[in-house]
Structure 1
């Protein structure tokens, strides 16, 4: 969600609040375009991330509702290198995307981010993402860290024009965060106060 965090996948670096140095892509150029979008399904938090110290976000197209996401217009080679970095592999190998483009899904392996999905099209380009092979119902929820939620919240505000209050409300209703994080507690962790949803506000840098 967060453009600066995504930039670490492309050009390399350590994301704000994270602990891992990403090597970056073979092609470090920024995306040609980026915008907020909605995918059919939902987001949940599960498994423990050593980078963020809490649950990871996964996309499940079988969940009801809509998943608020961010689309980046990048090359197929950049996409392959982002996938590799999420699986703690060195970037450098291209992916055969013919199966996911034709069938809507392709399994690269059993890993947590090795299931490729085509979630529709945007301006004539295929919308590709990656997630776990399991569904939200098949794995125990794990609460995400404040740093991870901050990264997601800033991305939601930037990509969708949301207020912090709306982003916090959305995130705290997701499985894994719900029941552990309340909107008030997350706002406090982000250094915000309880602001009415109609009042624009931004997170501190």
Structure 2
């Protein structure tokens, strides 16, 4: 990849940390459809092509499970970039249009318009509303391109405590949801199944409700079969003010 193409402003990395780590589940946002175990059919976006690349990614912060998912039942994943810890995910290389259409569907909006990423690139955070996935976050850059995701406006409950629906009250995820997240993380090629199971079982919301053994028993990964390679890490965005 050339230096010029790696800095193409029309392409971004989407840092998926929940069920969109799973390629088949992500495809429902891009091309439309209903993932196995879900209660919602997604319309898809303007560009149904799969990501140009997908790589395992480690981010600063914490993934936690909270609120009640109408798609999967149980808690859904959120990302608190300011929390202590390390978050695992999968970075998908997409066009801005593809990222925008995925974000719109997560926000229960109609896809079809590109997001203005100026503020999130400049400050690292941008609110598009008060909804559960209406806050954009830029965690840095990878290969010269911004690493973006979306999450809730509230921080992770301090001490991992229970809270209300409106402030991210922790809630254990369903088996169907965890199965997709676990398969997606393992498929990224950086972590062994036992490592993925231990990581997810330790995330706030799942901790105390799911054990590593129970997460590992949800599915038997079929790929990759080789030894894991190191995950990617983004670096600070030089445009950040």
Mapped to 2, the partners of 1:161 and 1:116 lie a distance apart of: 26
Does 2:85 align with 1:56? no
- Residue 120 of structure 2 corresponds to 100
Q: How do 1:1-205 residues align onto structure 2 when only pairs under 5 Å count?
A: 1-137=21-157, 138-190=167-219
Aligned mates of 2:31, 2:123 — CA distance in 1: 31
Unpaired segments of 5 or more residues in structure 2?
1-20, 158-166, 228-241
Q: Distance in 2 between matches of 1:154 and 1:146?
A: 12
**Cα distance in 2, alignment partners of residues 43 and 131 from structure 1:** 10
> Structure 1 158/50 Cα, relative in aligned 2: closer, same or farther at 3 Å?
same
The two structures, once aligned, show a CA RMSD in angstroms of: 1.8
Deviations for 1:24-68, whole angstroms, at most 9, x for unmatched residues? 111111111110111110100001001111101000011112111
Listed one character per residue, the Cα deviations across residues 132-167 of structure 1 (whole Å, up to 9, x for unaligned) are: 000011532100001111101111111133222111
Identify unmatched segments of 5+ residues in structure 1. Answer: 193-198, 201-205
Q: Report the equivalent of 2:233.
A: none
Tell me which of the two structures has the higher relative contact order, counting C-alpha pairs closer than 8 angstroms and 6 or more residues apart.
Answer: 2
Q: 1:186 deviation in Å?
A: 2.5
What is the Cα deviation at residue 191 of structure 1? Answer: 6.3
Tell me the distance in 2 between the aligned counterparts of 1:43 and 1:122. Answer: 20
Q: Which moved more, 1:132-141 or 1:115-124?
A: 132-141
The 3-state SS of whatever aligns with 1:49 is coil
CA 1:36–1:191 in structure 2 vs 1: closer, same or farther (change >3 Å)? closer
Tell me the CA shift for residue 170 of structure 1: 0.5
Deviation at 1:190, TM superposition (A): 3.3
**Per-residue deviation, 1:23:** 0.6
Q: Report if the CA contact (8 A) 1:58-1:131 is conserved.
A: yes
The farther-off stretch of 158-167 and 86-95 is 158-167
